[in-house]
Amino acid sequence: MAATAGAKQREYSRAEVAKHGGAGSLWVIRGNQVFDLTTFHTDHPGGSDILMQFGGQDITEAMRDGDTHVHAIQAYRVLKDFYIGEVMAEDRQTYAVPEGGKDEMDCVEEDEFLDINKPLFMQMWNSKFTKEFYLREVHRPRHLPRPAVFFANSVLEQLTRTPWWFIPIYWTPIMCALLYCGAHYEPLDVMLVGFTCGLVSWTLLEYSMHRFVFHYDDNIPEGTLAQVAHFLLHGVHHFLPMDQLRLVMPPALSTFLALNILGLLSLIFSKGMLHAVCAGLITGYVLYDECHYWLHHGSSQNKRLSALKSYHLRHHYKDFKAGFGITSDFWDNVFGTKFRATDR
């Protein structure tokens, strides 16, 4: 297999690679090429533990073994970014030719999309991508060991970055204020009913927004402006799914959406009930955003949580046209948008 284009050609013995088998320095061999996954193993979609099992080892066959961990071609695209050299001649091995007669790494096309090491917004703004090319490339995950840069301007850049802990700090006082004000109009039992209604309704709103707004995908018009809007709203999350500062919604955007939802609900509910329902929706939203962050960067021995994490990451790494539920797969079951059996 040809070496990764443009990469530094350094040679390593298998014994030397084997010394890098811990979390502080994690190297692997794949197809006689050496990759440094030190900055990636904590972001591995299947969890860090899987990669730690193979630290310092040859993972060529393990990546092809569906019983260990199924890998799509996107996994090889991500792996390619961590190439550091070749296995020296005396330690090279001959591997079985995969089904199709072509090594998986050779099936990874050269990246002609955005340069993740440069500010992304102006690249998108000045782009001339066709819609077909844009949608294909934006849903092919890339990885950076650091947050990507959107804007060269530091002030604008800061507005695009939101740490996970800021969401409850921002929204909890608003939720409490709504409950306090609503209690002046309705008794506690009525407020509780409204709050529960809002909390449960969030699950359907979460699913609907993810499916019909964030994944408007095929319906966006041709043209750069439409692609820029799509990229800012949700495309960047699929492009860089492990960017820790872009896993929760920036308050400016979430507040804008919340005000529109509030305006709609004010036409339906009276004061008091409106406050309670909105408080329930906000609580559901906060739980959703924190859950979403955990699904990308957390780990658990709990089977239900691990299954939920795998379910969501299949949406990113296998099929972005299915699996729209984040906190549960309930509405995917109701509306028939669960993954096909072949995508499991």
* 41 in a labelled binding site: no
Based on the fold, state whether residues 80 and 137 are members of the same structural domain.
no
229 occurs within a structural domain: yes
28 occurs within a structural domain: yes
Q: Which of 33, 53, 88 is the last residue of a domain?
A: 88
What value, to the nearest 5°, has the Cα angle with vertex 46 and ends 42 and 48? Answer: 30
Question: Which of these, 125, 179, 114, lies nearest to 156 by C-alpha position?
Answer: 125
The single-letter DSSP state of residue 96 is P
CATH of the domain at 57: 3.10.120.10
Give the per-residue pLDDT at 66.
62
The single-letter DSSP state of residue 56 is T
* 215 in a labelled binding site: yes
260 occurs within a structural domain: yes
Based on the fold, state whether residues 197 and 65 are members of the same structural domain.
no
Span 199-236, pLDDT tens digits: 999 999 999 999 999 999 999 999 999 999 999 999 99
Question: Which of these, 50, 45, 18, 22, lies nearest to 34 by C-alpha position?
Answer: 18
d(CA 202, CA 288): 9
What is the DSSP annotation of 210-246? IIIIIT-GGGSPSSHHHHHHHIIIIIHHHHSTT-GGG
Based on the fold, state whether residues 38 and 141 are members of the same structural domain.
no
* 20 in a labelled binding site: no
211 occurs within a structural domain: yes
Q: Which of 28, 63, 88 is the last residue of a domain?
A: 88
d(CA 315, CA 297): 15
Span 13-72, pLDDT tens digits: 999 999 999 889 999 999 999 999 998 877 777 677 788 889 999 998 888 876 555 566
Based on the fold, state whether residues 68 and 216 are members of the same structural domain.
no
Asked if 249 contacts 146 with a C-beta cutoff of 8 angstroms, the reply is: no
Based on the fold, state whether residues 161 and 64 are members of the same structural domain.
no
Query: Long-range CB contacts (< 8 A, 24+ apart) of 169-177?
Result: 170/251, 171/254, 171/282, 171/285, 171/286, 172/286, 174/282, 175/279, 175/282, 175/283, 175/286
Based on the fold, state whether residues 72 and 136 are members of the same structural domain.
no
* 69 in a labelled binding site: no
* 184 in a labelled binding site: no
313 occurs within a structural domain: yes
Asked if 240 contacts 74 with a C-beta cutoff of 8 angstroms, the reply is: no
| Element holding 269 (H helix, E strand) | none
Based on the fold, state whether residues 146 and 78 are members of the same structural domain.
no
Look at the chain and report how many structural domains it folds into: 2
Based on the fold, state whether residues 83 and 152 are members of the same structural domain.
no
Give the per-residue pLDDT at 99.
72
Low-confidence ranges of the chain (pLDDT < 70): 1-8, 46, 66-72, 341-344
78 occurs within a structural domain: yes
Q: Which of 53, 88, 123 is the last residue of a domain?
A: 88
* 315 in a labelled binding site: yes
Question: Which of these, 280, 271, 259, lies nearest to 194 by C-alpha position?
Answer: 280
Based on the fold, state whether residues 263 and 171 are members of the same structural domain.
yes
According to DSSP, the residues that pair with 33 across neighbouring strands are 30, 86
247 occurs within a structural domain: yes
3 occurs within a structural domain: no
Based on the fold, state whether residues 136 and 220 are members of the same structural domain.
yes
Based on the fold, state whether residues 73 and 166 are members of the same structural domain.
no
Based on the fold, state whether residues 83 and 136 are members of the same structural domain.
no
Give the per-residue pLDDT at 77.
81
* 275 in a labelled binding site: no
Q: Which domain holds residue 17?
A: 11-88
